Structure 1
């Protein structure tokens, strides 16, 4: 019976944490869905107006790695050359790959 008191105190706290965490995850998911919808609409508008996203300045080593099929190495080279973070480098290299039809 000694365990009943700590259990009775901890159970509501654990449930509260679970409810709060679940609510935040739902908010993040909704925000991500809204952002994706805005990006799709913007892509459609740009395509309709004939506006192309400018090609990033790419160091030769990045393009060589990408052409050789070494995407991770290309991302590393891009980061070394530009000093950007991993996400920015990944996005830039993937954009370059799409532009060149390298998938």
Structure 2
């Protein structure tokens, strides 16, 4: 019997997608609402609370910077390290489901 943690798989996949969404929005910050819509379109349904938890995780790892954190509506932008991760120029540590580069 396999012990697959579907919650972990969804969180790590969502983190990768969040980084890709923010990369697509560069050089402008992307609102949390836009990120949530894009995740839902990619069949990764998250609540706003779950999205904020993943944004906070990625901010803690210095991959993105949360803007307007003390307001009702957050936005975020990639840091230089986040850009490097998305562009495959640095190694990806566990916690983010970055697919292998072809």
Q: TM-score band, normalised by the shorter chain? A: 0.3 to 0.5
Per the normalisation by structure 1, the TM-score is 0.33
Query: RCO greater where, 1 or 2, for CA within 8 Å and sep 6 or more?
Result: 2
Compare the two structures and name the one with the higher strand fraction. 2
Compare the two structures and name the one with the higher helix fraction. 1
Per the normalisation by structure 2, the TM-score is 0.33
| Greater Cα radius of gyration, structure 1 or 2 | 1
